[in-house]
Chains A and B, each alone.
Chain A
Amino acid sequence: MDLLTTARSPWGESIFTHISWSLFWASLVGGLLFLLAHGGYMLFSQHRKRPSEEVDRLERERGGLPAQITRHGFVARAFHWVMAVSMLTLLVTGFLPIVGIRFAWVEWHWMAGVLLTASILFHIVHATFFLDFWSIWVGPKDIPEFKAEMQREMGKEDAPGPRPGKYPLGNRLYHLAVVVAGLVVVATGIMMMWRVRTGLVERNPYIFADVTWGLTYVMHGLMGVGFVGLVIAHIYFALRPEKLWITKAMIFGTISRRNYLEYHDPDRWVADRKKDVA
């Protein structure tokens, strides 16, 4: 089975044209298998929150904390849901024809892509200048947290080591994957706007060589099918009972003081009643 399809260009070159659509099914099945595996694991796993006595102690020590702590400001939430709508539209319009549901999808697809691109550009500016930019990124500094989290996952609830700041490590790694896949899919999608009639740019399929176009389509396809698995995982975690408080925060903006102290390191994510810090 070929994972990438090739063709012979009019000039005799062997060029990539697309990914094999079997990769779409692989991503879909992979996402569903992960969901089953994680769901099964969670049946036997403890949740990684502080013991209640420790949370009680922290509440006493930090009496100045408000009852509701802002996790996501209105602008950040609006971005998230705009991006979610555009991403789901892109996946639906991109992949329903592959599974046999045929409709005129291209126009919907590129329009959703423009919306996604605009929302990402906005998010970059907003996160850079108005939020705690580094709170979502991962790096070597997170290795102690990674070790501690892995030990807690294995059942050692009292493992020493830092607890998450605003975003759990898994959340940050997911964000990193979405950033990489998202930027590739947006960059290649913008290039592909010169291949279709949009009215936004003057169509010219010859602005790149066939080889470049082939790689563009392949990368767009690979990241697109990657998003199938990523989105399945994202929706799955958003709907898990023990994580609904995070999902609600993406709707209403706040979490309770208790959740804040149970799951976060208040020294790494300093909550402020008046200012949305991240």
Chain B
Amino acid sequence: MPAFELFQPQSVNDAVGVLNRHGADAWVMAGGMDTFDWLKDRIKKPKVIVDLGMINELRGIKDAGGGLEIGAMTTLTTIANDPLVKERFPLLAEAALIVASPQIRNQGTLGGNVSQDARCWYYRAGWPCYRAGGNICYADTPTAINREHAIFNADRCVAVNPSDTAPALIALDAQFVIKNGGSERVVGADEFFVGPGIDITRLTSLQPGDLLTAIRIPNTWAGKGHYFEKVRDRMVWDFALVNIAASMNVSGSTIGDARMVVNGVAATPYRLNAVEAFIKGKARDKATADQAAEMAVEGAVPLLHNAYKIPLMKALVKRAIRGDAEWTS
């Protein structure tokens, strides 16, 4: 690995102090699951690494008025097994449980999972693409290998957000607590993730000096209908080709308010606003699901090798609306 200066602060205040001192030269490391790939491949060469592993106040799950506040350094295994999460927000527990492998979930954190970088191999191989500060997207060319890339909202770069917990958190109206210096700001999950049109070199709104400290989930969707499904090439240790997270308020067979978010199809988790509005007040049946599925993929622009994501996404939307992972017709 390239040489770097290592800081292991023991408090949030110390961490934000170090981050402010070093600005863009500093790299925040949570569980290290994304970090070490970059370092060992010598693609990213930060001068300073700030390891958050010693900060106990960033760990844990607290009750917050019927909702939850989860420390950014809480491991995915802890979240998947936590009784409060499973009781109130099984959607998040399922999403955390299906990330990568057990070993990675033991080490990987919620903050790291939502902040991880794009998996596009052109980018991760160190090619000078837009996301790396260059002026081309190698994945969006007539000869590119782009089976895993975006079908929505490609703005020069066609990389996708790879997180499993991100769509779940958006479907739960989560809020992200970010500290920078002496100030703290709270941003909605919708604002936390940014597309290439806004910032082509980042997947989140985190800027140099920022530290994601916690994620708050209000009680809005506690105990409501939840659905999460992830489709991947291998059933263990793989990123989603497409995943879907949904929260629904269902009364009898009628759908009320809903949140539906798909990931793996755009640079940000892709919220299906039109579908949410369409299904409100509709019966939870095949006809609604079929129409919603068609609506969900409107505007999709497939690349050379990823048109399969359109029928895949339609199937996931249908299943989420029916609340039945076995439902195929």
Contacts and interface: CB of A to CB of B under 8 A. Distances in A.
B26 interface: no
Given A195-B135, A205-B136, A213-B136, A7 B128 contact: yes
Contacts of A206: 141-143
Interface string B107-147: 00000000000000000000110001111111011110000
Contact of A205 (B127, B137, B197): B137
A204 B194 CA distance: 25
Chain A interface size range? 20 to 34
> Which one of B132, B134, B143, B198 has the greatest number of beta carbons of chain A within 10 Å?
B134
A92 interface: no
> Which one of A7, A15, A195, A217 has the greatest number of beta carbons of chain B within 10 Å?
A7
A107 B197 CA distance: 9
A103 B128 contact: no
A140 interface: no
A24 to B, nearest CB: 16
Contacts of B132: 7
Contacts of A102: 194, 198-199
A46 interface: no
Interface string A29-54: 00000000000000000000000000
Interface in A3-22: 5, 7-10, 15, 17-18
A214 interface: yes
Contacts of B128: 7-9, 15, 17
B276 to A, nearest CB: 22
B154 interface: yes
Nearest to B127: A10
Interface string B244-257: 00000000000000
Given A7-B128, A205-B140, A106 B134 contact: no
A203 B198 CA distance: 21
Contacts of B141: 204-206
A105 B197 contact: yes
> Which one of A10, A103, A204 has the greatest number of beta carbons of chain B within 10 Å?
A10
Interface string B141-160: 11100000000001110000
Interface string A210-238: 10011001000000000000000000000
A5 B201 CA distance: 16
A269 B27 CA distance: 65
A196 B198 contact: no
Contacts of B269: none
Given A204-B142, A205-B140, A206-B141, A106 B135 contact: no
B132 to A, nearest CB: 8
A104 interface: yes
A195 B137 CA distance: 8
B41 to A, nearest CB: 14
Contacts of B264: none
Contacts, number: 53
B90 interface: no
A196 B130 CA distance: 11
Interface residues of B, number: 22
Contacts of A9: 127-128
A217 B58 CA distance: 44
Contacts of A5: 133
A197 interface: yes
Given A8-B128, A15-B128, A104 B197 contact: yes
B195 interface: yes
Contacts of A106: 155-156, 197
Contacts of B197: 103-107
A271 to B, nearest CB: 50
B101 to A, nearest CB: 31
Contacts of B133: 5, 7, 17-18
A197 B154 CA distance: 9
B136 A196 contact: no
A66 to B, nearest CB: 53
Contact of B198 (A8, A18, A104, A197): A104
Given A7-B128, A17-B128, A206-B141, A104 B155 contact: yes
A106 B154 CA distance: 11
Contacts of A204: 141-142
A102 B143 CA distance: 31
**List of 10 A-B pairs having minimum Cβ-Cβ separation, nearest first:** A104-B197, A7-B128, A102-B198, A17-B134, A217-B135, A205-B136, A17-B135, A10-B127, A7-B134, A205-B141
14 contacts: A10-B127, A17-B134, A18-B135, A102-B198, A102-B199, A104-B198, A105-B197, A195-B135, A196-B156, A197-B154, A204-B141, A206-B141, A210-B136, A213-B136
